[in-house]
Structure 1
Amino acid sequence: MAVTCTTLDQVRENIDLLDQQIVTLLAERGGYVSQAARFKKDSDGVKAPQRVEQVITKVRDLSLEVGANPEVTEQVYRAMIAAFIEQELAEHAALAINQTA
């Protein structure tokens, strides 16, 4: 829950603290994405559009529970997932090359 700030500097300090946590969590999520590449057979498995939609539904529902804007949450998650898919596709391709070498 956001605290009430009395200055713009306080707002920015709190946002900076959150950014530290968010980036740390992105790094952790990225580690799991890297692991997932090992379990997928091909690039279609990496893209997994059905899974993307499951995640979007889940985070939209969660955003409503915690008082976040579901539209913003969806946009952020779609961008994040797209970036992680690109990462995972590259890692999956590298794993395929290593397996044939």
Structure 2
Amino acid sequence: MAETAATLTEIRAGIDVLDRELVCLLARREALVRQAAPLKSDGQAVRAPDRVAQVIARVRTLASEAGADPDLIERIYRGMIQAFIDMETGEHHRRVGAENAVIARGVRAQVAERLSPSGLAEVGGA
């Protein structure tokens, strides 16, 4: 039993090392996704179903070549991709909302100027 515990401890230590590497790689992937997000015009571009299918097909092949279970790797990737899509969608909504707020402020300023006494005099309203 002590040998099993030592082996399990060693295996877990190896998993911890891999987790550190995976998190660093995911952080790099997140940075790239964040760079791509502003280049996408709408929700359809964010979801990019053709790109998702392309990525899934590629990682399934890579999984097979690496001796991993392609179905398991696909499930992991689909979850990761969805998390990044959710992140990008939130970024897109914030960006569009900020752009709309700037436009609305400009429109309000124009309306206020036209409704001011000097603005009304210019258009013959006073």
TM-score normalized by the length of structure 2: 0.72
Tell me the distance in 1 between the aligned counterparts of 2:53 and 2:60. Answer: 10
Amino acid at match of 2:32: Y
What is the CA distance between 1:99 and its match in structure 2? 2.9
- Larger relative contact order (Cα-Cα within 8 Å, sequence gap ≥ 6): 1
Q: CA RMSD in A?
A: 1.1
What is the CA distance between 1:98 and its match in structure 2? 2.9
**Corresponding residue for 1:38?**
38
What is the CA distance between 1:24 and its match in structure 2? 1.1
SS in structure 2 at match of 1:38: helix
Q: Percent identity between the aligned chains?
A: 46
**Corresponding residue for 1:9?**
9
SS in structure 1 at match of 2:41: coil
**Corresponding residue for 2:62?**
62
| Structure with larger Rg | 2
**Corresponding residue for 1:3?**
none
What is the CA distance between 1:86 and its match in structure 2? 0.1
Structure 1 unaligned runs (5+)? 1-5
Larger proportion of helix: 2
Q: Runs ≥4 in structure 1, deviation > 4 angstroms?
A: none
Structure 2 unaligned runs (5+)? 1-5, 103-126
TM-score normalized by the length of structure 1: 0.89
